[in-house]
């Protein structure tokens, strides 16, 4: 099999990006984080002063914005350069305001259709580890391996909190926990491409499991899949 696709899905801060990037590095595959695309659309909506509740306006914008995710040219801890219509928005897409609105924006059909199409085009080249919410269920239902990372909301909020402190961003644990729960709630209950494990996904519980161990488990699954 010359074109391998690995799908990693799971709720907010379940470790998808950290784990996915390490798996991709070990395999020499492309790592692609689809959450960045939904965050970039949300940022565009906010920057233009569009009300995120306006489905038509938001969907239309999603079809016209140009999102590029490129290897980093600046070394400030970023994993990639995120460009929105050519402008660097790498850290802006991580803002609290984006996180508060991204799940509503991501629930719209027009937004999902536009993003899914681009993700399929990128994944089509093969040898990719793609992470998100609906990669195994919708974007690549024929993926060679599907992983669903799970962890308690408290554990995930703790991880996000540590990550923010590490970056020197002021954060409040309770606020992060509430916003994590709220995002999961919307992502799981939306009509289109809700967050859930694919029937053929391997579910990994990651509370108290070190990243290296999760990576090893996935590498073993890849070898077993042959």
For ligand C5P, the binding residues (CB under 6 A) are 12, 34-35, 38-39, 102-103, 106, 132-134, 183, 187
Round to whole Å and give the CA distance between 146 and 77.
28
Least separation in angstroms between CB 139 and ligand C5P = 7
Residue 145 pairs in a beta bridge with 6
Cβ-contact 125, 5 below 8 angstroms: no
CA distance readout (Å), 174 to 78, 91, 164, 202:
26, 22, 14, 30
Q: Is 106 annotated as a binding residue?
A: no
Q: Is 18 annotated as a binding residue?
A: yes
Least separation in angstroms between CB 38 and ligand C5P = 3
Q: Is 15 annotated as a binding residue?
A: yes
User: How far out from the chain centre does Cα 69 lie?
Assistant: 13
DSSP 90: T
Least separation in angstroms between CB 75 and ligand C5P = 21
DSSP 93: G
Round to whole Å and give the CA distance between 136 and 129.
11
Cβ-contact 163, 101 below 8 angstroms: no
200 or 220, CB closer to ligand C5P? 200
77 or 220, CB closer to ligand C5P? 77
6 or 102, CB closer to ligand C5P? 102
169 or 220, CB closer to ligand C5P? 169
Round to whole Å and give the CA distance between 198 and 7.
10
CA torsion angle for 195, 197, 199, 202 (degrees, to 10)? 160
Q: Is 14 annotated as a binding residue?
A: yes
34 or 90, CB closer to ligand C5P? 34
Q: Is 53 annotated as a binding residue?
A: no
29 or 33, CB closer to ligand C5P? 33
Task: Match 């016209």 to its residue by tokens.
Answer: 64
Backbone phi and psi for residue 148, each to the nearest 5 degrees, phi listed first: -120, 115
Q: Is 12 annotated as a binding residue?
A: yes
Q: Which residues are annotated as a binding site?
A: 10-18
Q: Which residues are annotated as a binding site for ATP?
A: 10-18
């Amino acid at each position: 099999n010359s074109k391998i696709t690995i799908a990693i899905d799971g709720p907010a801060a379940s470790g998808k990006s950290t784990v996915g990037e390490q798996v991709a590095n070990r395999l020499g595959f492309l790592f692609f984080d689809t959450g960045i695309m939904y965050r970039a659309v949300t940022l565009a909506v906010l920057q233009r002063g569009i009300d995120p509740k306006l489905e038509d306006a938001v969907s239309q914008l999603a079809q016209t914005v140009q999102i590029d995710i490129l290897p980093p040219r600046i070394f400030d801890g970023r994993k990639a350069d995120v460009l929105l219509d050519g402008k660097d928005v790498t850290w802006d897409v991580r803002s609290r305001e984006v996180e508060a609105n991204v799940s509503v924006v991501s629930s719209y059909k027009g937004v999902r259709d536009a993003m899914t199409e681009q993700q399929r085009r990128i994944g089509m080249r093969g040898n990719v580890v793609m992470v998100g919410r609906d990669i195994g269920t919708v974007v690549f239902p024929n993926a060679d391996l599907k992983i669903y990372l799970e962890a308690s909301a408290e554990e995930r909020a703790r991880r996000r909190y540590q990550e923010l402190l590490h970056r020197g961003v002021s954060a409040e644990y309770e606020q992060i926990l509430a916003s994590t729960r709220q995002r999961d709630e919307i992502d799981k209950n939306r009509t289109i491409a809700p967050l859930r494990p694919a029937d053929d996904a391997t579910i990994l519980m990651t509370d108290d499991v070190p990243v290296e161990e999760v990576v090893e488990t996935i590498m073993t699954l890849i070898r077993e899949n042959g």
